[in-house]
Each structure stands twice: as C-alpha cells, then as structure tokens.
Structure 1
Amino acid sequence: EIARKSVTDSYLSYAGAKDSLYGLTWGGVTRTGIKLDTSYDGEDGGVYASGGYYGLTGKNVAKNTMAEFGAGAYWRAYKTNDFT
C-alpha cells in the first residue's frame, strides 16, 4: 500500500490550530509512505505480518518519520466440512 493520510491521533494533528494573538498556525500533520502486508492461510491456521515506513509533515511542525511492524498467528478452534 502506498498512501497519504491525515494523522488523526489528536485534534491538533488532524485539524491544526491557530494562535489568534500572533497569527501563527501549526498542525495538520500528514503521513506519507508505504506499507507491506503478507500472510499464509493453512488448513488449521495461519500467520501474518506487516511493516510500514512513513514521513510525517505538517505546517510549522518538525519533520519526522514513523515505522510500524506487526505480526501474528491464529488457529481454527472449530472446523466443519465444506458444503458445495
């Protein structure tokens, strides 16, 4: 996945803010980057993993980067015959 999305962790990161006294604005952070997902689904269970790397930019906000990783496994607790 290649994506550009708004950061919605807080009101400031999503919508930004304005200082009416000095006229300064900041916030409105955008996350731009790539995420890769993979998985294996076997008969009795499976595994999955994902990883992503993003650049974070916004108005009067220090540039930053973000990485995310995740993995997991599952198994089927109950299995029935297929009805076709």
Structure 2
Amino acid sequence: GFKETQLLGAGGFGKVYKGELPSGTQIAVKRVSHDAEQGMQQYVAEIASMGRLRHKNLVQLLGYCRRKGELLLVYDYMPN
C-alpha cells in the first residue's frame, strides 16, 4: 500500500507515491484520477507497452489496478 504523506512527485496526469508491498518490497505507485480522461487512456496504453518491456534502464511495471475511477500503476521503486 501507500500513504498520501509519501508523495514523491506530481505531474499533469497524476501523482506518484512511495509504497510498500506486504513482502516489504518498496514500490512507486502512480495514481491517475478519473477526471484525467486523456491521462487514463494514455496510461492504459502505457500498461500494455510497459508490461512487455524488459530493459535494465527502464523501471519495471509490477502491476496495476482500477479502483473507484482511479488507475493505479505499481512500479519498482528507484531512489535517486
């Protein structure tokens, strides 16, 4: 899960939070709100593309879910 207080950054289509899986693995959660319809379409396309890509220079997409009009994308957490 993630907490609102763990905001890493924000952009035109949503916010990114630091989170943690039950296993203790740190993650980044990209949260796109329902009122960003263009963003929703963009991120659905991103899911399809990122789910197939594997490269050492790309952050790995671990999973996603749609909940209450939001799209949540779960990535490996990469600290600066």
Q: Smaller-chain TM-score range?
A: under 0.3
Structure whose residues are more often helix by fraction: 2
- Give the number of the structure with larger relative contact order, counting CA–CA contacts within 8 Å between residues 6 or more apart: 2
Structure whose residues are more often strand by fraction: 1
Q: Which has the larger radius of gyration?
A: 1
